[in-house]
Chain A
Amino acid sequence: MDISRRDFMHIAAIFGLGAATNGIANNKTPASLSLKDIYEFKAKGNFTLLHMCDIHAHIKPLYWREPSTLISAPNLVGTPGFLCGEAFAKHYGLEPSSLDAYFDTYMDFDTLAKKFGKMGGIAHMKTYLDHVRKERGAENVLFLDSGDTWQGTGVALKTKGEAIVKAQNYLGVDVMVGHWEFTYGKEQVMNLIDKLDAKFISQNVIGNDPFADEYEELIFDPYTIEKRGGAKIGIIGQSFPFTSTANPKEFTEGWSFGIRPETLQKYVDELRKKHKVDCVVVLSHDGFSVDQEVARMVHGIDFILSGHTHDPSPAPIVIDGTVIVIAGSHGKYVGRLDINAKNGKVIDYEYKLVPIASNMIPADPKGVKLVKELYAPFASELNEVLGKTKNTLYKRDTFFSTFDQLINDAIMDEMKCDLSFTPGYRWGTTVLGGDVITMDNVYEMCGITYPNVYTFELKGEQIANLLEDIADNVFNANPLYQQGGDMSRLGGVTYSIAVANKPGKRISKLMIGGKPIDLKKTYIVSSWGGNLQNAGKNIQKKKIRPVYDVVRDYIKRKKVVDVSNKGNVTLVDYECGCPVKGSRSC
């Protein structure tokens, strides 16, 4: 059997070879891949951490196309966290048209989707988890979840997250942290934690209501200590630091978030000195680039199991002795991390990002049954076929995506506005060209607890300033000042952007409805998923309606949607969507 490139990567990691970008050829053709290649792993040490992040409630297999544009500030572009397409393949040494290339990049997606099929799904994931539990002994395995688990599909929204808690209990999650979880509101979060078998931990969620009992107190346990394979493992929780600015404040009124590196350091020291743990793990929803900064600020962390930014990272990165891994999104992967730790020290480890290829990993019948049960009450609504799409509808990319364009088209058509804003969330779905669009797909793109589309007035100058502000949230050269997902998607607008320019000076040639923006003019704006409406005047109350209903009705009216992949944004200072490190081109 040939050694696959990914196998090489994790062998390379042991020898400290790091992310070699050239060398070993991989001659394996997709047809000769087998389950053995996916399971292949050189077991190591006394325990195993299994890791998932950002499954966004996708309990069924799905298609998920990775970004074809992932631009950031010049100092970050081409580094892990800001790699895509060709640059990603080059960095990690992926063979074109391989299973890894299909899972990790957008390249040749439609063709490979037909070859390899759907990704993820709890029934397939469970088969893999159980394989590892059997191989290692269940008592030597921990399954950790970096959050963004309870939100993202119709079945999650309609059960206020409860269906997904049942899925987590079935999978056997041991510990989790949160972000979109909080958008069900504080009370429901506590309800669901009661039903959850896993522990919910966070060192960075603190009461800030001076009249509450929990003022300046921790809301959740900051850490937990688990024993596996004779080792004491300290796991510290880090929920999304910017929950209260990224999502409506009312859901977490009285709770304060933040990165809180000082207290993180305190808990690391406490675990090491007081509890004499053998290994310190941070289970995090900070994001891949922020966690690289955390590793620089806080000392003594052995492993950070990251989440939030949806990066598939086939190889771990090591910063100041801290090993950081992240396991993609939407249930596409499980990260397997074997660790050898004793006497208060990690001796070595081995890592593999395992693709949950649903055509190759058999489904666990119990999982299939559970998914069916969870969907049953909503099946007639969710399975409704609304129409068909001519071209592939996808979500990611820094400035534009076809599914977001479809949402903007739907909003503009119904609301008769001059321009529309759709948020640049990283989660969603992919519908292949020629396939039908179901109501389930629409919820996968916009199933949130604050779904209303608002239509209101903004002055041209406000719109221009707002775009600059959003751009700085996405493109700030310091990851600690980035809090956005991708750039907000605009309908009815075209613009040029120079990402490397100073804050406030990035956007030019801003056109609304084909005409240069008039800073003094009042425009009719529609938006959802943010708090933009608070800045506007004269909200048209009669038009307020959930975005998923607006999109459903539009697709039904159109029957066949035809969204081109052309995009409405001109990137001035990069030549392509996936630049390599230190370059403005590919």
Chain B
Amino acid sequence: MQRRDFFKKIGTIVAVSAITPAISFANEKQKSPNTMNFTTAMDTITGGKPVKTSKLIKLKVPEIAENGAVVPVTVNVDSPMTEKDYVKAIHILSGKNFNARSVDIYLTPANGKAMFSTRIKLGGTQEVTALVELSNGTFIKASQSVKVTIGGCG
């Protein structure tokens, strides 16, 4: 049994009352054909282009998740969002999830602001990455580690 499957299971049981779909999560390994590891996901999105870590991206995730099944993520990119210079896409990747590609959001200058907020499911402690495609075709990213734990003590 994988370490993260173990945590998945714990996360599942803890989350039962909050999120019902999570109940079947532990069995996902057998059912899901959508396997994609982090490197493959990055390469698929960028086409192998280099990706620089950038301070233009403000990635807000908790250091310690209160509930691995619903981890709040907010990505804010400092961009003028004009025809000449805008954010084309925001991708949220979870480093060790069974399928690392959690969210793809496509934007146009009409969005006005390059900001997106959601909740993602994390199967265990891992890095969350916001990968951003700019209108000039280049890619930037920001990452932060999120701890998904069975819990400590007081």
Find A465's partner among B3, B66, B151, B153 (CB 8 Å cutoff).
B3
Do residues A485 and B154 form an inter-chain contact, with CB atoms below 8 A? yes
Tell me the A403-438 residues at the B interface (CB within 8 Å).
423-427
A250–B151 CA distance with the chains assembled, in angstroms? 14
Q: Mark B1-36, 1 if CB is under 8 A from A, else 0.
A: 101001101100110011000000000000000000
B residues less than 8 Å from A426 (CB atoms): 154
A534–B17 CA distance with the chains assembled, in angstroms? 14
* A387 interface residue per 8 A CB criterion: no
Tell me the B37-64 residues at the A interface (CB within 8 Å).
62-64
Do residues B152 and A465 form an inter-chain contact, with CB atoms below 8 A? no
Do residues A250 and B64 form an inter-chain contact, with CB atoms below 8 A? no
* A474 interface residue per 8 A CB criterion: yes
Binds B, one of A241-249, A352-360, A575-583: A241-249
A residues less than 8 Å from B150 (CB atoms): 466, 469, 530-532, 534-535
Query: Shortest distance in angstroms between B79's beta carbon and chain A's nearest beta carbon?
Result: 20
Binds B, one of A70-78, A158-166, A251-259, A270-278: A251-259
B residues less than 8 Å from A535 (CB atoms): 6, 9-10, 13, 150
A256–B66 CA distance with the chains assembled, in angstroms? 8
* B149 interface residue per 8 A CB criterion: yes
B contact face: mostly helix, strand, loop, or mixed: loop
Contact size range, A:
35 or more
Chain A, residue nearest B124 (CB) = A469
**How many A-B contacts if CB must be within 8 Å?**
95
Contact A488 to B67, CB < 8 A, known contacts A461-B1, A465-B6, A534-B10 = no
Query: Shortest distance in angstroms between B55's beta carbon and chain A's nearest beta carbon?
Result: 16
Chain A, residue nearest B6 (CB) = A462
A residues less than 8 Å from B125 (CB atoms): 469, 472, 503
* A390 interface residue per 8 A CB criterion: no
Residue total for B at the interface (Cβ-Cβ under 8 A): 25
B residues less than 8 Å from A423 (CB atoms): 153-154
Query: Shortest distance in angstroms between A530's beta carbon and chain B's nearest beta carbon?
Result: 6
Do residues B62 and A258 form an inter-chain contact, with CB atoms below 8 A? yes
* B99 interface residue per 8 A CB criterion: no
A residues less than 8 Å from B66 (CB atoms): 244-245, 249, 256-258
Do residues A481 and B10 form an inter-chain contact, with CB atoms below 8 A? no
Of the listed residues B7, B9, B62, B64, the one surrounded by the most CB atoms of chain A closer than 10 A to its CB is B64
* A470 interface residue per 8 A CB criterion: yes
Do residues B10 and A246 form an inter-chain contact, with CB atoms below 8 A? no
* B145 interface residue per 8 A CB criterion: yes
Do residues B67 and A483 form an inter-chain contact, with CB atoms below 8 A? no
Do residues B153 and A485 form an inter-chain contact, with CB atoms below 8 A? yes
Do residues B64 and A425 form an inter-chain contact, with CB atoms below 8 A? no
* B147 interface residue per 8 A CB criterion: yes
A535–B124 CA distance with the chains assembled, in angstroms? 14
* A394 interface residue per 8 A CB criterion: no
Query: Shortest distance in angstroms between A205's beta carbon and chain B's nearest beta carbon?
Result: 12
A residues less than 8 Å from B7 (CB atoms): 469
Chain A, residue nearest B7 (CB) = A469
Do residues A485 and B3 form an inter-chain contact, with CB atoms below 8 A? no
A504–B65 CA distance with the chains assembled, in angstroms? 19
Query: Shortest distance in angstroms between B16's beta carbon and chain A's nearest beta carbon?
Result: 9
Do residues B17 and A474 form an inter-chain contact, with CB atoms below 8 A? no
Do residues B152 and A246 form an inter-chain contact, with CB atoms below 8 A? yes
A488–B6 CA distance with the chains assembled, in angstroms? 19
* A316 interface residue per 8 A CB criterion: no
B residues less than 8 Å from A425 (CB atoms): 153-154
A488–B152 CA distance with the chains assembled, in angstroms? 8
A residues less than 8 Å from B62 (CB atoms): 258
Query: Shortest distance in angstroms between B1's beta carbon and chain A's nearest beta carbon?
Result: 6
Do residues B154 and A531 form an inter-chain contact, with CB atoms below 8 A? no
Tell me the A165-198 residues at the B interface (CB within 8 Å).
179-180
In the complex, 23 of the A-B residue pairs with CB atoms within 8 angstroms, ordered by the A residue number, are A242-B152, A244-B66, A244-B67, A245-B149, A246-B152, A247-B151, A253-B17, A258-B62, A423-B153, A465-B3, A469-B7, A472-B147, A473-B147, A473-B149, A473-B152, A478-B63, A481-B147, A504-B3, A530-B151, A531-B14, A534-B150, A535-B6, A535-B9
Interface residues of A (CB under 8 A from B): 148, 179-180, 240, 242, 244-247, 249-250, 253, 256-259, 423-427, 459, 461-462, 465-466, 469-470, 472-474, 478, 480-481, 483-485, 488, 503-504, 529-532, 534-535
The 7 closest A-B pairs by CB, nearest first: A484-B152, A423-B153, A534-B13, A473-B152, A244-B66, A483-B152, A480-B63
